[in-house]
Amino acid sequence: LNFKMKPVMIFVAAIFLSTGIFALSGVAPGSYDVSFQGGAGKNFTFNFIFDPDVTSRLFVEGDFANFVTLDKYEITGAQKVIAIVRFPENSSSYGNRKIMIVAKQVPSSVEGIGIISEIIGTINIFVPYPGKFVEAKLNLRDSNVDDLLGIALDLKNSGTSNVTVGSQVQILNETSLVRDLFFEPTVLMPGQSSELEKKINVSDLPCGNYSAAAVVDYDSDVPQSFFRLGKDYVGIVNYTKKLEGQKFAVFVRNLGVSNISNLYGKISGDGFETNSNFIDLEPWGSSELMFSLPINKTGNFEANLTLFYNGKTTFEKINFQNGNQFPVEFILIMVIVFFIILTLIFLRKYL
């Protein structure tokens, strides 16, 4: 029976400040990984750690619990416990299974405070599926359209027979198929794994949300992965349309997968120029830049807004208003009303 022991020590520390009590408990190793072999047996040793005066009872839970015996079912303090596993000849449960060796502290009371600890050592068991069975996992990460998109397809022969696996990955946007990719057939023996990788050009695809699905021989599931395509660009989402005092805000968004550091903006117009504060943006993150515009007169203004980041720039012409300006439509309506009133006065006086 092949197995791998994980050299993990699990500690659970509980500090009770009101009483000054420190309780330490744990188990080493924390877990074992094994493969199921019908009729085989194996002993697994767990070192349970409790305070010297602590009594704990042990029991078994999980899959194959009826096929496990312990060399002891009660311990005091730190002691070694041996779990004796005798697997059945066959199993109707497949995939990842688990046996849990549980040590539960017998309730006690110290100065009116109950102290109960439960520590679990685990035996992870993989039970192969009968015949030909492949498990697949698909992974695509967010990418910029100017970069190559990486595709990783992990295959594992979880059955009992050799297989030659054909696999296909389809990439879709929100409405249609945009890529259809095929991998070379892969030969896998029972228990063997393989990682298939491709990098593809996506410069012709628009930015947005995408999904990918893998079709793999001998796998009844359809693994999926969701990702976004962006670009190395910071967009201007919105800005102040009417200036109140001298405060002017610009809302920006990172449209790519890279972090943006020390981004700032500049606004320049007729007789004025000012810079904003510096900000950082995470991938796909949004924030605002704040400006102080030294404009003392009222009116409508046009200016140039430029963002500076990572050696790149974003430029946009902007229009905003300073002071309480009447809209053009309102002025036209007032002129029309004025002439109507004059006409009525004239008609009433002379007719």
For the stretch 172-223, pLDDT in tens is 998 899 999 999 999 999 989 999 999 999 999 999 999 999 999 998 789 9
Residue 62 · residue 100 · CB < 8 Å = yes
Instruction: Give the amino acid at 259.
Output: N
- Nearest 5°: phi and psi at 332? -60, -40
Render 15-80 in DSSP notation, one character per residue: EETTTTEEEEEEEES-EEEEE--TT-EEEEEEEEE--TT-EEEEEEEETTGGGEEES-SEEESSEE
CA 180 to chain centre: 26
- Bond from prior residue into 29 cis (ω within 30 degrees of 0): yes
pLDDT, residue 215, reads 94
Name residues of the chain where pLDDT drops below 70.
1-23, 109-115, 324-331, 349-351
Q: For residue 21, what are the CA distances in angstroms to 13, 75, 79, 103, 346?
A: 11, 21, 22, 21, 100
pLDDT, residue 61, reads 96
Q: How far apart are CA 68 and CA 87, in angstroms?
A: 8
Burial 33-70 (b: 16+ CB within 10 A, else e): ebbbeeeeebebebebbbbeebebebebebbbeeebee
> What are the pLDDT digits (tens) for 273-291?
999 999 999 999 999 999 9
Closest residue by Cα to residue 119 from 54, 44, 34: 54
Q: Which two tokens stand for residue 213?
A: 């699905």
